[in-house]
Amino acid sequence: MGNVTKQASTRFSIVKRSKGQSAVEKASYISRSVLVSEFDGQTYRPKYHEDLVHSEITLPPNAPKEYADRATLWNAVELSEKGQKSQLARMLKASLPNEWSYELAEEVVRDYVQRNFVDKGMCADWAIHDSENDKGQRNLHIHVLLTMRPLTENGEWGAKQKKIYDLDENGEKIPVIDKKTGQQKVDKRNRKQWKCHTADSTDWNSKENAKMWRKDLADTINATNEQLGIAVHWEHRSFKEQGIDREPTIHIGAVANALERKGIQTERGNINREIIKNNLLLEQAKEMLMLAKQELHSAQYATYKSTQIKNTAVSVKNEVMEMIAKVRERKGRLDLPIVSGKHLRRISDRTALQSADNAEKFITTRKIDSFESLANFTADKEQKYSQLETVHLSKGQKLNRLKELSKMYALFAPIQATYKESQSLKGLAKMRYDKEHKDSLSKYPELKEHMQSLLQNSEKIMPKQWKAEIQSLQSKCNSIGKEQTKTATELAYAEVIGYNKKNLERELQNESRQHNRQQSKTKQREEEI
């Protein structure tokens, strides 16, 4: 467990037609794509798109291949539901650690969605978003849209509920008796009526499932954070479930509740309002404390930077540094190319990339004095990264093969020893030994064949040598991986700086056009006078 606890934000909801909601509209929203609904004829256009990191559809094996198309999938869902109160889809929204890279987030979410939803038969449409508020606080999160009807083996939509007949103590169906006639009831088609009830055809709606899904996501995040050395523990349980003492509201009662609905304040209602007020004040105090810390940090940084500027003499102009300074003056930080960023996806600490101070340090230490030299630097580093990636892939493949060999040999070795012992025996002793080790001996031919298939070009079984090679290759892969991370970070800095250059140029052009338009209007008004 980490030394810091964070409350996980995981919310499940149902997309309901009775509330005027549409599965196609939700799919459009999370994927940031334009979709047309065949059910209501509406075209859904999301208002935002710049926060989309990744979107993907994951299907179970029995789903039609055409459901890989988002519009086809959710229009099929909409058209399969005929009722005005139909439940169309299940929606999950959950936060992810902001320290994660986009590539890691994709990998973890893909595995989580597959294990918890797709393997159970659901079609999953999921997306990763990375937004930012006006205070510079990031919010890496996921949206998962899930189908609610099971799919048959033929890939057709099945029933959400099934009829189950009630049985007596003898396991026989119980007839529905007409009280007037004393005879078994029949329907309009003269079919006998039996006592029955309906039940969900799947357990997907179970509240226990929702708890399990929340827990699994938190456990997955915590396991990943532990591997990365991130000392933050995500807690999926509510404050109540954790036993955290929060002042609860009191039971107001039916009479007082009726009066409150009419706008008449009651003593018990006033107590609850005071409790809610106190809890709110507590939360606000926490927020104010956090903001105070942030403001203190900003003030310290401003003082530091002011001193730095006074004590630093810039003899040669650097157009890259000048651009960074202008962006800092306007926004206080650099913008990130969340959608277009090629190298940004590999970086975990994206907040560091927003620091103008870090960007200036990057430019200074690499002796980059122009955007031309930045472009040359980027080209060299991209070539280096490509070379590292090729070497890492080659050694990784060899490493994985040796690991597979070692793992297979660990299974094969005791079976082989049993086989050799059997071959060394004769007569009654062999019969007894073979009988005692029947299961192991039956596995020998298959394991031997598998072991031989892994060996290449008359390669011998050498477990000690494999172990030494695995250790050596693992060390080399780790070293190459560190170099890759360093190079990727350099490329990300260059990418962010280039992105902000384009943004600044566009903003200045827009401001110039706006200024010219304003001057033109002023001149026109003066001429009219």
| DSSP string for 261-323 | HTT---HHHHHHHHHHHHHHHHHHHHHHHHHHHHHHHHHHHHHHHHHHHHH----S--HHHHH
Examine residue 387 and state whether it is found in any structural domain, yes or no: no
The predicted model gives 443-462 an average pLDDT of 89
Exposure string over 428-454, b if 16+ CB within 10 A, otherwise e: eeeeebeeebeebbeebeebeeebeeb
Question: What distance in Å separates the CA atoms of residue 457 and residue 460, rounded to the nearest whole number?
Answer: 9
Residue 390 pLDDT class (50, 70, 90 cuts): very high
Look at residue 312 in the predicted model and tell me its pLDDT.
44
Phi first, then psi: what are they for 47, rounded to 5°? -75, -30
Look at residue 2 in the predicted model and tell me its pLDDT.
43
Examine residue 392 and state whether it is found in any structural domain, yes or no: no
* Residue 358: CB atoms within 10 Å: 17
Question: What are the angstrom distances between the C-alpha of 164 and each of 169, 196, 197, 199?
Answer: 16, 5, 5, 7
Alpha carbon 304 to chain centroid, angstroms: 38
Examine residue 405 and state whether it is found in any structural domain, yes or no: yes
pLDDT, tens digit, 9 for 90 and up, residues 286-342: 556 656 655 565 565 555 555 554 444 344 578 999 999 999 998 888 988 877 788
The total number of structural domains that make up the chain: 5
Six-digit token string for 11: 């919310």
Question: What distance in Å separates the CA atoms of residue 57 and residue 124, rounded to the nearest whole number?
Answer: 6
Question: What distance in Å separates the CA atoms of residue 492 and residue 62, rounded to the nearest whole number?
Answer: 41
Question: What distance in Å separates the CA atoms of residue 281 and residue 41, rounded to the nearest whole number?
Answer: 47
The SS3 of residue 434 is helix
Q: Which residue has the tokens 């047309």?
A: 36
Residues 153 and 258 in one domain: no
Q: Of 262, 288, 309, which residue is a domain's last? A: 309
Q: Quick one: 142 exposed, middle or buried, by C-beta within 10 A (0-12, 13-18, 19+)?
A: buried
Look at residue 313 in the predicted model and tell me its pLDDT.
39
Residues 238 and 305 in one domain: no
Look at residue 372 in the predicted model and tell me its pLDDT.
93
Look at residue 114 in the predicted model and tell me its pLDDT.
93
Residues 238 and 266 in one domain: no
* Max CA distance (Å), the chain: 124
More confident residue, 223 or 27: 27
Does the pTM surpass 0.95? The reply is no
Question: What distance in Å separates the CA atoms of residue 145 and residue 147, rounded to the nearest whole number?
Answer: 7
Examine residue 126 and state whether it is found in any structural domain, yes or no: yes
Question: What distance in Å separates the CA atoms of residue 402 and residue 296, rounded to the nearest whole number?
Answer: 54
The predicted model gives 389-401 an average pLDDT of 91
Examine residue 393 and state whether it is found in any structural domain, yes or no: no
Phi first, then psi: what are they for 473, rounded to 5°? -65, -40
Residues 228 and 89 in one domain: yes
Six-digit token string for 429: 């002793």
* Lowest-pLDDT range of 49-58, 97-106, 286-295, 346-355: 286-295
Q: Quick one: 235 exposed, middle or buried, by C-beta within 10 A (0-12, 13-18, 19+)?
A: middle
Six-digit token string for 435: 């009988």
Look at residue 368 in the predicted model and tell me its pLDDT.
93
Residue 138 pLDDT class (50, 70, 90 cuts): confident
The DSSP letter of residue 148 is: -
Name the residue range of residue 461's domain.
398-482
Look at residue 84 in the predicted model and tell me its pLDDT.
86
Q: Which residue has the tokens 């031919």?
A: 445
Average pLDDT over the chain, rounded to whole? 84
The predicted model gives 26-43 an average pLDDT of 92
Residues 230 and 113 in one domain: yes
Six-digit token string for 522: 């002023």
% of the chain exceeding 90 in pLDDT:
46
Residues 357 and 472 in one domain: no
Examine residue 69 and state whether it is found in any structural domain, yes or no: yes
Residues 195 and 291 in one domain: no
Residues 378 and 522 in one domain: yes
Residue 88 pLDDT class (50, 70, 90 cuts): very high
The predicted model gives 167-195 an average pLDDT of 83
Look at residue 238 in the predicted model and tell me its pLDDT.
63
CA angle 510-515-519, nearest 5°? Answer: 150
Is residue 442 within 8 A of residue 418, CB to CB? The reply is no
Residue 388 pLDDT class (50, 70, 90 cuts): very high
Residues 226 and 123 in one domain: yes
Is residue 497 within 8 A of residue 333, CB to CB? The reply is no
CA angle 357-359-362, nearest 5°? Answer: 110
Residues 171 and 152 in one domain: no
Look at residue 5 in the predicted model and tell me its pLDDT.
77
Look at residue 195 in the predicted model and tell me its pLDDT.
82
pLDDT, tens digit, 9 for 90 and up, residues 221-236: 888 888 788 888 888 7
Examine residue 388 and state whether it is found in any structural domain, yes or no: no
The SS3 of residue 189 is coil
pLDDT, tens digit, 9 for 90 and up, residues 475-499: 999 999 899 999 999 999 999 999 9
The predicted model gives 162-175 an average pLDDT of 79
Task: Name, in order, each residue with C-beta under 8 angstroms of 150's C-beta and a sequence gap of 6 or more.
Answer: 121, 157, 158, 159, 160, 201, 202
What single letter denotes the amino acid at residue 480?
Answer: I
Is residue 348 within 8 A of residue 97, CB to CB? The reply is no
Residue 87 pLDDT > 60: yes
Examine residue 478 and state whether it is found in any structural domain, yes or no: yes
The predicted model gives 424-449 an average pLDDT of 92
Residues 76 and 113 in one domain: yes
Look at residue 113 in the predicted model and tell me its pLDDT.
94
Specify the DSSP element, H or E, that contains 111.
Answer: helix 102-116
Q: Quick one: 367 exposed, middle or buried, by C-beta within 10 A (0-12, 13-18, 19+)?
A: exposed
Residue 82 pLDDT class (50, 70, 90 cuts): confident
More confident residue, 343 or 5: 343
Residue 434 pLDDT > 90: yes
Residues 289 and 212 in one domain: no
